[in-house]
Amino acid sequence: MKKLLSELADRCLGALIHAAYFIWTGISHVLYLPKVTYEDETVKDKLKGPCILIANHTSHSDGSFIPQVFWRKKINVLVTTKWYDKKMLHIFFSHLRYIPINLKEMDNSWIEKAVELIRKGESVLIFPEGKLSKDGTLGEFHPGFLMLARLTDVPVIPLAVSGGYRKFHRQSIAVGSVNTFDVHAKGRPSVVLKEGASSCRQQIEDMLQATKSAG
């Protein structure tokens, strides 16, 4: 009986959090006026199915803003346990679409969870730098997302987020072309996929430059 009541309370809390998130999504659209541009229009079709989204990471808001912009898609965001396990945040993260990853341990549980969700038709958003870039400079990309692509064979789509999050100013997201790196290339994954991660980093770097030039 106690277990049943606790489950019921958890479900009610989950419903409340989902309702609050839905309202927050609406508010985000008003506050940040998202503008999505596509480098290649055919990517729109790829976005309809499961995919791996990768993005630069300059604000904690990225992890909620991107899924809110693409709200029709079921996007699961990879978040470090440093944040996921914080008492108050954990309540939200565990009821919404977030996957914890422990960057300090040899943690592969995230990839199993991500594979499972992709096979269910959902998508995964990863910030391959693994941390915030405070000055906006792109750091090194960790190749975990390419291992996920290797295990699932879904497209890797890069996003360049302008950042800043100034209220009532357009917040732009540029959607790049599907990355063409051969994730099944032979060799040690940590070496081979690192090269691929580097090519993805360059792709996002170029997209960010193009966004800046376009003003």
Partner 1 sequence: MNEQQISEKIKELLIENLGIEAEVLTDEIPLFGDGIGLDSIDSLEMIAAIDKEFGVSMTGVGKEPFYNVASLTKYVAEHL
**Which residues would be at the binding site for partner 1 (CB under 8 A)?**
105-109, 111-112, 143-144, 147, 151, 187-191, 193
- What lies within 8 Å, CB to CB, of 191 at 6+ separation is none
Helix H segments across the chain? Answer: 2-32, 43-48, 62-69, 81-84, 87-95, 109-119, 144-152, 189-214
- With beta carbons less than 8 A apart as the criterion, state whether 180 and 43 touch: no
Considering beta carbons, is residue 15 or 191 the nearer one to partner 1? 191
Considering beta carbons, is residue 3 or 184 the nearer one to partner 1? 184
In degrees, rounded to 5, the angle at the alpha carbon of residue 98 between the alpha carbons of residues 90 and 116 is: 130
Distance of closest approach, residue 93 Cβ to partner 1, in angstroms: 20
Determine the Cα–Cα distance for residues 9 and 140; give it in Å rounded to an integer: 43
Distance of closest approach, residue 142 Cβ to partner 1, in angstroms: 8
Distance of closest approach, residue 134 Cβ to partner 1, in angstroms: 25
Considering beta carbons, is residue 10 or 107 the nearer one to partner 1? 107
Considering beta carbons, is residue 88 or 106 the nearer one to partner 1? 106
Tell me the β-bridge partners of 161: 173
Considering beta carbons, is residue 37 or 108 the nearer one to partner 1? 108
- Spatial CA neighbour of 47 closest among 163, 157, 125, 153: 157
- With beta carbons less than 8 A apart as the criterion, state whether 142 and 197 touch: yes
Distance of closest approach, residue 182 Cβ to partner 1, in angstroms: 16
Distance of closest approach, residue 120 Cβ to partner 1, in angstroms: 18
